Structure 1
């Protein structure tokens, strides 16, 4: 007769991929062009598909902001940011410090990021519970979670000790980046078709 073990499972050690490992895998063809993945804390994470409303909002935010910030900041749309040895997320949009080379020689790091934006229709929980803490741990000064189902923007600011100390939900009014308070978006307008 077999004995039944009631002990909790022992977590097996995991190998964490580095950003360099991740890029070598891409160069080797392990990830195809159709694979939507990003590296978070050493793990390759599948990204949610982008629907038409998500894509529209994802086009509107950089178009409206960059129209006001041309030559003062760089709009970074769905490109990687190297946060650490083990994380290179690809946010929907990031506002970066201006650099004359447009980051052609090296990926931006956390120190280059002024604002990061994730747009969520099916990924709200992931963006709130995984991405927000990740960005806070790396002291990204501001994070916007555009919650399409709730028709609101969650604004995270004041990262300290790995958490954002200020969080507010906006359903209307002006939304401005902390770094550029003169550049504004109409929150309600983001959710109009």
Structure 2
């Protein structure tokens, strides 16, 4: 798909499902966005975070998933083929098993983590933040491992994200949805990461 096609056409999950498996795309409001291949550091961070979260949630009703994992975000109750937003967050935690199917997740995950890459920073911090707020993602984390900061958005009772909280990655970060879970960032000091 050329950049010109991207600007001229709007797509749905029906189109997305037919695209070649080796290509990675996200759809936001019908617009297709090519996803760059993640760096080794990015993958190391996603794997470590996913592992910590999985260990904590083992035996509990919530499940973590790592990209590539399709999250379809319908506007209302339209059929999957008509859904115009499908994203692949780095990590998605879903607590309502009814949202899970063989295609991935239909509806908002409870917690999403995006690990910032140079090519994804604006998308993660602006477009996806607004998207996740609109669809009711309860907690949204943006992790910047090389600059060593974490930005946390929490959905308020008004259905909006309030002011973000900014944390350094020098000490563990407590998860709002799971207060007994603290993410330990010590792995970032490992010579194998970064």
Using structure 2 for the length normalisation, give the TM-score: 0.78
Rounded to whole Å, the distance in 2 between the matches of 1:71 and 1:60 is 19
The correspondence for 2:71, drawn from 73, 81, 85, is 81
Q: 1:111-132: CA deviations, max 9, x gaps? A: 4x11001111211111101111
CA contact (8 A) 2:138 2:154 kept: yes
Moved more, 158-167 or 170-179: 158-167
Rounded to whole Å, the distance in 2 between the matches of 1:130 and 1:162 is 17
Rounded to whole Å, the distance in 1 between the matches of 2:37 and 2:88 is 13
SS at match of 1:165: coil
CA contact (8 A) 1:139 1:159 kept: no
2:162 is the counterpart of 1:165: yes
The correspondence for 1:91, drawn from 75, 83, 89, is 89
CA contact (8 A) 1:71 1:98 kept: no
Q: CA deviation at 1:70?
A: 0.5
Q: CA deviation at 1:41?
A: 1.2
Q: CA deviation at 1:86?
A: 1.2
Change (3 A) 1:102 1:190: farther
2:14 is the counterpart of 1:20: yes
Unaligned runs of 5+ in 2: 1-6, 75-82
Paired position in structure 2 for 1:181: 179
Aligned positions, number: 172
SS at match of 1:108: strand
Change (3 A) 1:132 1:76: same
Change (3 A) 1:76 1:20: same
Larger Rg belongs to = 1
SS at match of 2:114: strand
Unaligned runs of 5+ in 1: 1-12
Paired position in structure 1 for 2:135: 138
Q: Bigger relative contact order, structure 1 or 2, given CA contacts below 8 A and separation 6+?
A: 2
Change (3 A) 1:98 1:164: closer
2:112 is the counterpart of 1:121: no
